[in-house]
Chain A
């Protein structure tokens, strides 16, 4: 197979390179470079203030973040919470998205309207979604509390015990992003040929059987896309947490804590906390390792399953 270049001779051979350059330069300076520089910063005590002295401190940032005193417990808490967040979001969002897609696929009635309603939060954005739910979860007689009272319970929702608040924010994250999952599954469902489904029916398979043996395996590409997007996205997502809870102990995930450390907001009463961007960079590298392990691990598992299921 000839891999030639067709668009001209000596001088014009340079054209692809020249036109490639802006994009590549941008990528290096805005994305790749800074990512690598993070590793460099993690070995310093940089505060982030221009003009402030910066020294090499070797591994002491990592030592402090992972092993010093109660940081072992507190930061491990944050790591665990990050994993919990990612797991819950991935599993529930994917499941709910699949259910919604299956339901919409039945073409019952007003499909377009339902589809719009479910996809709306994706477009509205994190601030509108966060504030809408903050209102809905208002603990002094708000709608959610009224509903809960009907069932005989009461709750402080976002203001109560941190784990509870965390679960609520997780739920809102799922609610907000299910629309994308659903659309991707819808697309996948539409690629399944009806003959296969009919054939399964003829063989006497019921609804659930058909799903398990025909539909679900054939949805594997969409499933893999959704899982990848959800896993990696949720490991790095924390904007909603910032909007709904802010920087408070007990509800943070790793991304949020990196921001808090880097920009001096690590205390409930942050009048005098200094920015610590070297330390924050070390925390970023820890997050990177986490994403790498889980992300790559998930990729491997998904490829294996894909081969097994689709042959």
Chain B
């Protein structure tokens, strides 16, 4: 007995310095709520821990609309190491006077984001993605992991076949398709109206068809050469009203953004105008579903409907004040390894920013023809002038039943008046 105790004591004493050497490090990671992303990161962290047993990753998840707030407060308090931040957007352009800086710029200027220029793992990524989505003043601050399209419409191939509906390439065809479904008691479209932004996103396809060059749109609005109530815009507003009022099913305002894919997958609705990030959720809700994705035909001219627009989505930034830089770089490097990155792409359905990765899913195949002409969406480029009014946004959810407007002409005029108020105030 005694000898065993002595052995035990000796072992513990011998082990003590080992414990000091292999001090565990905990990386704090902050991501936003997106079921496939959360699931992938959880399993990825386990793999990472197996590879580097002394590094544990602690993940916090917040809703997408709380992400910017959490990012700023936690960076300021310096209690987070790696954060998922959407690709740098809404940068200030020369023609924008007196506009508010975007949060990533204020963070960079406050010295809170770590400069990642020259890190070896950056070489795995598309140079253009690194430059467009994660750089400022020539330095790299974010590793962007991919893009999503948000001007398309998911459709139920079986339902389309059953009722003899072909994929619409003009607005007129889309309207007719919706009427066919309504006649047969199928909801033409559903959306996550409860959270507001899904209906906004649903309308982006119409915006794109009206103004295929979104960068020019932004500049035109600021300089006054394009207005929200000229003929082209008015047509766009009218179509948005039809979308909100007639195409999206009644009661959609009670459906949360993460419930809409399930509803579509169950066959209750024939179409779901949403971002391509919903594809994994749809497939998970109903693996037998035959679905596809087509660009929202917001124009009567098929040539205007050939594009997909979207955004740079999840990207990783590192807190400048972190004392675990080494561990953080290891995590990013491990994430960026081609096999891990491909697994990430497969899980989240994101369009890859690494040239070697392929999106081998249903969605990937549907979207592939449009990738050559992929463009950044309006919301990525637009910056509000100070003093602008709340209606100066191309937002389909302004219409009833989601909000108070039921006259497209009046809303168009109000939107322009609200924009003018801001432009004038800053001249």
Contacts and interface: CB of A to CB of B under 8 A. Distances in A.
Interface in B4-58: none
A271 B389 contact: no
A51 interface: yes
Contacts of A273: 68, 100, 102-103
Interface in A221-276: 246-250, 263-265, 267-276
A74 interface: yes
Contacts of A34: none
B87 to A, nearest CB: 9
B424 to A, nearest CB: 7
B279 interface: no
Given A70-B421, A163-B404, A264-B103, A272 B90 contact: yes
Contacts of B110: 47, 49-53
Nearest to B66: A265
B73 A263 contact: yes
A102 interface: no
A48 B72 contact: yes
B100 A274 contact: yes
Nearest to A65: B387
Contacts of B103: 264, 272-275
A204 to B, nearest CB: 54
Given A49-B112, A64-B386, A159-B254, A271 B68 contact: yes
A64 B89 CA distance: 24
B197 interface: yes
A193 interface: no
A275 B194 contact: no
Contacts of B200: 268-269
A246 B72 contact: no
Interface centre among B65, B109, B400, B422, by most chain A C-beta atoms within 10 angstroms, is B65
A70 B254 contact: no
Contacts of B424: 69
B86 A271 contact: yes
Interface string A161-196: 111000000000000000000000000000000000
B246 to A, nearest CB: 15
Contact of A161 (B193, B385, B388, B400): B400
B123 interface: no
B402 A159 contact: yes
Contact of A68 (B69, B72, B390, B425): B425
A246 B65 contact: yes
Contacts of B112: 49, 51
A201 interface: no
B226 to A, nearest CB: 19
Contacts of B390: 70, 74, 249-250
Given A64-B386, A270-B65, A264 B251 contact: no
A159 B253 contact: yes
B330 interface: no
A274 B393 CA distance: 19
A170 to B, nearest CB: 17
A140 interface: yes
Contact of B76 (A49, A247, A271): A49
B100 A276 contact: yes
B401 interface: yes
B106 interface: yes
A198 interface: no
A163 B88 CA distance: 34
Contacts of B422: 69-70
A142 B388 contact: no
Interface centre among B101, B254, B418, by most chain A C-beta atoms within 10 angstroms, is B254
Given A140-B251, A159-B254, A273-B68, A268 B197 contact: yes
Contacts of A73: 389
A118 interface: no
Nearest to A267: B384
Contacts of A267: 384
B402 A270 contact: no
Interface string A256-298: 0000000111011111111110000000000000000000000
B285 interface: no
Contacts of A264: 68-69, 72, 103
A250 B88 CA distance: 28
B155 interface: no
Shortest 3 CB-CB contacts between residues of A and residues of B? A69-B387, A159-B253, A70-B389
14 contacts: A49-B112, A69-B385, A69-B422, A70-B418, A140-B255, A142-B254, A159-B254, A160-B253, A247-B65, A249-B390, A264-B103, A268-B197, A273-B103, A274-B101
